[in-house]
């Protein structure tokens, strides 16, 4: 019997940035919180979908945050 995969939470969010190439949002109240995902692969699917849907707006960017690295910094170098 195999044990379930370890949960590695990831957050996907994005929105319109103030400046191209920056990471400051034009309006934090309008940031799109896409969701939390149990692993990186699931987060990439959600990120890619949102990024492709907003490709016509150069100021809109979506990001993936590796929450498990923030929650357990000691394990960050071991897991993706």
d(CA 74, CA 4): 21
Give residue 52's Cα distance to chain centre.
14
| Confidence (pLDDT) at 34 | 98
What's the chain's Rg over C-alpha atoms?
15
Residue 2 falls inside a structural domain: no
Domain count, the chain: 1
Residue 4 falls inside a structural domain: no
Residue 20 falls inside a structural domain: yes
Residue 28 falls inside a structural domain: yes
Token pair listed for 78: 């071991």
CATH (domain of 60): 3.30.70.2400
Residue 3 falls inside a structural domain: no
Among candidate residues 32, 11, 33, 14, the one with its CA nearest the CA of residue 24 = 14
Q: Is the pTM of this model over 0.75?
A: yes
For residue range 27-36, what is the model confidence (pLDDT) as tens digits?
999 999 999 9
Residue 80 falls inside a structural domain: no
Token pair listed for 69: 């690295």
Residue range(s) defining the domain that contains residue 45: 10-75
Strand 60-66, strand 10-16: pairing:
antiparallel
Residues of the chain where predicted confidence (pLDDT) is lower than 70: 1-3, 75-80
Residue 43 falls inside a structural domain: yes
């Amino acid at each position: 019997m195999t044990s379930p995969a370890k949960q590695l939470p990831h957050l996907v969010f994005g929105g319109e940035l103030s400046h191209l190439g920056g990471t400051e949002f034009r309006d934090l109240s309008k940031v799109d919180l896409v969701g939390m995902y149990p692993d990186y692969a699931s987060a990439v699917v959600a990120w890619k979908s949102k990024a492709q849907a907003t490709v016509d707006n150069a100021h809109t960017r979506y990001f993936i945050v590796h929450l498990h690295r923030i929650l357990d910094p000691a394990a960050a170098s071991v897991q993706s």
